[in-house]
A and B are shown apart, each in its own frame.
Chain A
Amino acid sequence: MIHIPDFAHASTVQIVFCFLAFITVITAFLAIFSRNPIHSALYLVICFFTIAGHYLLLNAQFLAIVHIIVYSGAIMILFLFTIMLMNLNKENEVHKPRITRLGAIVSFFLICVVLILVFINSKPIAGEYITTGEDYQSIKVLGRVLLNEYMVPFEFASILLLVAMIGVVLLSKKEKTEK
């Protein structure tokens, strides 16, 4: 039922996929488990780079580049700056109570099992992959789709970013002390 790659006759693409997937999962776990927030942020950067590698493997070049720029660039720099601003790079965090952590672990496995079973059972509906050789994900095609069919959401995204920028400036400005 599950298609497991045959490691003896694995092609290069399969080996690359397994390698990338392994690093993605391991670094995601390390990002959650490491005590020092700066280490978590750095592990998360590696995780995002491997996800960009997955995008490249799926031949989505535009998204791979945007993903590296936005996530590994902007968002992680923001995280690191915040961590350094708050002086959080020390490892004195108290753990949650043991019962809560146990509940988190149990619910992790339960969600995993349920979702994987759901997707295994949806396999017959999804069917097999047939390629037509048509170009559908180059930057040219994406730009045409983005600026024709998705013109209005595209403009709304810019408004969203503007509003977020104003909100951030308002939120992080120090309030004047009243006399």
Chain B
Amino acid sequence: MTNILNEIGIENYIFLSVILFCIGVFGVLYRRNAIIVFMSIEIMLNAVNLLFVAFSTYHQDAQGQVFVFFSMAVAAAEVAVGLAILVSIFRNLGSIDINNLKNLKG
């Protein structure tokens, strides 16, 4: 198990995270439901975290994993604040369709 990257190859991990990241971008562009947009952002964050861990193993350096730890803390805070904003939007507008949020548009 110590030479895992010899068997799989770093490029397969890179391709997996690229595809995951693109799925996240796709979800943000494709859906109107704000909660699904949030989930897509989570998928993007996870793709980057996976790449961080893969390269941390590749360089045999613990700092990549420490960065993933911080990024998880930021993701948790982001989700909490974002969902609170969504709840208050839902209370005011009665829906969380992102196409309805046009109040700032002149």
Q: A17-B12, A116-B18 are in contact. Are A29 and B23 (CB under 8 A)?
A: yes
Q: Is A79 an interface residue (CB 8 A)?
A: yes
Docked pose: A144 CA to B78 CA in angstroms: 27
Among A119, A146, A150, the residue within 8 A (CB) of B18 is: A119
Among B19, B26, B70, the residue within 8 A (CB) of A153 is: B70
Chain B positions 9-40 with a Cβ under 8 Å from a chain A Cβ: 9-16, 18-27, 29-33, 35-36, 38-40
Q: Is there an interface contact between B39 and A146, defined as CB atoms closer than 8 Å? A: no
Q: Is B101 an interface residue (CB 8 A)?
A: no
Docked pose: A169 CA to B85 CA in angstroms: 11
Question: For A178, what are the chain B residues with a Cβ–Cβ distance below 8 Å?
Answer: none
CB distance from B39 to the nearest CB of A (A): 5
Q: Is there an interface contact between B29 and A28, defined as CB atoms closer than 8 Å? A: no
Which residue, of A29, A32, A51, has the highest number of chain B Cβ atoms within 10 A? A32
Q: What number of residue pairs across chains A and B have CB atoms under 8 A from each other?
A: 229
Q: Is there an interface contact between A145 and B63, defined as CB atoms closer than 8 Å? A: yes
CB distance from A104 to the nearest CB of B (A): 4
Q: Is the interface of A mostly helix, strand, loop or mixed?
A: helix
Q: Is there an interface contact between B66 and A13, defined as CB atoms closer than 8 Å? A: no
Specify the chain B residue showing the minimal Cβ separation from A51.
B46
Q: Is there an interface contact between A137 and B22, defined as CB atoms closer than 8 Å? A: no
Q: Is there an interface contact between A111 and B84, defined as CB atoms closer than 8 Å? A: no
Specify the chain B residue showing the minimal Cβ separation from A144.
B62
Q: Is there an interface contact between B76 and A75, defined as CB atoms closer than 8 Å? A: yes
Q: Is there an interface contact between B22 and A112, defined as CB atoms closer than 8 Å? A: yes
Specify the chain A residue showing the minimal Cβ separation from B88.
A171
Docked pose: A48 CA to B47 CA in angstroms: 10
Q: Is there an interface contact between B30 and A168, defined as CB atoms closer than 8 Å? A: no
- B residues adjacent to A (C-beta < 8 A): 1-16, 18-27, 29-33, 35-36, 38-40, 42-43, 46, 49-50, 53-54, 56-58, 60-63, 65-66, 68-70, 72-81, 83-88, 90-91, 96-97, 99
Instruction: List 30 interface pairs A-B (beta carbons < 8 Å), by A numbering.
Output: A25-B20, A28-B24, A28-B43, A31-B27, A51-B50, A57-B8, A59-B2, A67-B49, A70-B76, A71-B46, A78-B80, A78-B83, A79-B35, A86-B90, A88-B33, A104-B29, A107-B29, A111-B21, A111-B25, A116-B15, A116-B18, A129-B3, A129-B6, A145-B66, A150-B70, A157-B74, A164-B76, A164-B81, A168-B81, A171-B84
